[in-house]
Amino acid sequence: MTTLFVSDLHLASARPAQLALFQQFVARVAQRRARALYILGDLVDAWLGDDDDGSPPNREIIAALASLRAAGVELHVGHGNRDFLYGPRFVAATGARLLSDYAVIDLYGTTTLLTHGDLLCTRDVKYQRFRRVVRHPLTRHAFLATPLAWRQRIAQRTRSGTVASMRRKDDAIMDVEESSVAAIMARYQARLLIHGHTHRPAIHDYADGRRRIVLGDWYERDGVLVCDDAGQRALRVSDYLHLPAVQA
């Protein structure tokens, strides 16, 4: 059996091809009865609260995820910087287990640390300050108490501002800080770190035997990390869909 990892799908009604690919992917995961699927944040372009579950394409996404529970596949969902407002209604509808900011699992005998990745971009001081404000329980409560239509307008303005801000930032600021990576892996005694967020898919092997795997986004080059007793393989989703059943 395999354990699968994806991140930064950013599914939205404006990107119907990615939504269709996601539905095919989840159907194949269920058909092959994988052990577990981990989504490490930014599944959708914006989740504005559980009352947003009827907005397109959220209804279709929830239906796809719910099919995993029927097939006996564990579903674990992490919070990204676009979708940290999942609540009990989302959990009940999908059967997902929500991940903490840092989650440790035993991945076929390897102590593995999972995270979205934004907390490791410590050189981006302005973002880290913003993150602390918007994730504060009082801020979350106040935001969710407003009408959904108002939240949607705020999200649209915030998204436009985020794109403009990213264009002005130095490229290195938006990547993880290696000293932060080393510190957090030491803190959790992890030999393997899997994360997304940076949209820079790669496998980094360190001299001391540690490994860091960065998941790709689903904008131009969708990807899935397939893990089993034999190790880890980074694949395009289309390649995963066509794997022989014995390898899936």
pLDDT digits (tens, 9 = 90+) for 124-181: 999 999 999 999 999 999 999 999 999 999 888 876 655 445 444 566 688 999 999 9
Thinking of the domain 3-247, which architecture would CATH place it in? Answer: 4-Layer Sandwich (3.60)
Residue 185 corresponds to which tokens in the numbers above? 């892996």
Specify the pLDDT at position 194: 99
The full set of domain ranges for the chain reads 3-247
Residue 194 corresponds to which tokens in the numbers above? 């899997």
pLDDT digits (tens, 9 = 90+) for 76-124: 999 999 999 999 999 999 999 999 999 999 999 999 999 999 999 999 9
pLDDT digits (tens, 9 = 90+) for 198-237: 999 999 999 999 999 999 999 988 999 999 999 999 999 9
Specify the pLDDT at position 247: 64
Q: How far apart are CA 111 and CA 6, in angstroms?
A: 19
Q: How far, CA to CA in Å, does 71 sit from each of 61, 62, 67, 99, 151?
A: 16, 15, 6, 21, 35
Q: In what order do the strands lie in the sheet with 192-195?
A: 103-107, 110-114, 192-195, 211-214, 202-205
Per the document, the length of the chain is 248
210 CB burial (10 A radius; 0-12, 13-18, 19+): middle
Q: How far apart are CA 129 and CA 88, in angstroms?
A: 27
Question: Could you tell me which of 98, 109, 57 has the C-alpha nearest to residue 74?
Answer: 98
